[in-house]
Amino acid sequence: MAIVWPCPTSVDTYAALGRGVDVAMPDCPRCALPMGSWSGYWRTVREGVRDLRIFVPRARCSACRTTHALLPAFCFLRRLHDAATIAAVVEEVVGGPDGVRPAARRHGVVHETARGWVRRFRSRAGEIAAGFAALSVELGGEVVTPLADAGRYGLAAIRASFEVATTLPGWAVLGWSRFVAVVSGGALLSANTTSPYLVIGRRRFMPPVPDRDDENGGEHGP
Ligand SMILES: [Zn+2]
């Protein structure tokens, strides 16, 4: 399993730290017990047109012996590109007047790759909208009015929940793409979801959980 943590640093800064990345060990999602550090693995993140190697630490629960990859919030599960690039392309295509091709070109992304992100977002837009609209309300924000276009409704729900999350400590600095990565457990663009948990501030929220599909950005894990 992977846990996406709210990493605030730039991809460059994170990459430069190599194995020296310092991640607070979360509690085991299953047992709620503290976990210990358990090695990690290297993977590639593509930011714009640059590939960076990053180290992803693992945590292990000594009670249930499960290990978890601690993925920084600028990554989605099994996506090579960084979250900001993916989010920008999806927002520009789903929320704007442009087609996929110009958005892909602007961000230096291969057309087919960008099209895959947009298709997946649209195919999951109903769930995404429902989840983030519920989060917005859970956090004390506004009720998001459904829109005829499911994709735009999904984006509106994400914006609304991010807006209210920014009133809680630590979230504004992340920007909405990393917020989405954390809340969805990195699985915004994954095919199937079930629900574990997430803590925002002191509140618990049920986000989607990872599955196994799509582009593989890592050699040994998500
Ligand atoms: Zn455990």
Same domain, 88 and 168: yes
For residues 222 and 186, the answer to whether their CB atoms sit within 8 Å is yes
CA 37 to ligand 1 center in whole angstroms = 13
Q: Within this chain, do residues 65 and 94 fall inside the same structural domain, yes or no?
A: no
- Ligand 1 center–CA 46 separation, angstroms: 32
Q: Kindly report, residue by residue over 8-31, the tens digit of the pLDDT.
A: 999 999 999 999 998 989 888 888
- 152 and 186 share a domain? yes
Q: Where are the beta strands (DSSP E) in the chain?
A: 2-5, 36-47, 50-60, 67-72, 198-200, 203-205
Among the residue ranges 102-116, 126-140, 197-211, the one predicted with the least confidence is 197-211
Q: How far is the CA of 207 from the centre of ligand 1 (A)?
A: 19
Same domain, 89 and 68: no
Tell me, yes or no, whether 220 lies in a domain.
Answer: no
User: Is a pLDDT exceeding 60 seen at residue 43?
Assistant: yes
**97 and 42 in a common domain:** no
Tally of domains within the chain: 2
In a shared domain, residues 67 and 119: no
Question: Do residues 57 and 20 touch, judged by C-beta distance below 8 A?
Answer: no
Q: How far is the CA of 210 from the centre of ligand 1 (A)?
A: 18
Average model confidence (pLDDT) for the chain? 85
Q: In sequence order, which residues have a C-beta less than 8 Å from that of residue 65 and are 6 or more positions away?
A: none
Q: Are 154 and 178 in contact (CB under 8 A)?
A: no
Residue 219, exposed/middle/buried by CB under 10 A (0-12, 13-18, 19+)?
exposed
One domain, residues 36 and 138 = no
Asked if 25 and 87 sit in the same domain, the reply is no
Q: Report if residue 77 sits inside a domain.
A: no
pLDDT (0 to 100) of residue 171: 85
Domain assignment present for residue 221? The answer is: no
205 pLDDT higher than 80: no
> Secondary structure of 170-210 in the HEC alphabet?
CCHHHHHHHHHHHHCCCCCCCCCCCCCCEEECCEEECCCCC
Above 70 in pLDDT, residue 206?
no
Whether 53 and 91 map to the same domain: the answer is: no
Domain that holds residue 122: 83-205
CA of 27 relative to ligand 1 center, distance in Å: 8
Predicted local confidence at residue 85, as pLDDT? 97
Residue that is written with structure tokens 């917020």 in the block: 179
Sorting pLDDT into bands at 50, 70 and 90, what band is 184? confident
Question: Residue 164 — φ and ψ, nearest 5°?
Answer: -75, -30
Of the chain, the percentage scoring pLDDT greater than 90 comes to 57
Residues sharing a CB contact under 8 Å with residue 150, sequence separation 6 or more, in sequence order: 122, 125, 126, 129
Listed in sequence order, the residues at least 6 apart from 203 whose beta carbon sits closer than 8 Å to its beta carbon are 138, 139
Between 165 and 105, the more confident residue is: 105
pLDDT at site 30: 83
Gyration radius of the chain's alpha carbons: 17
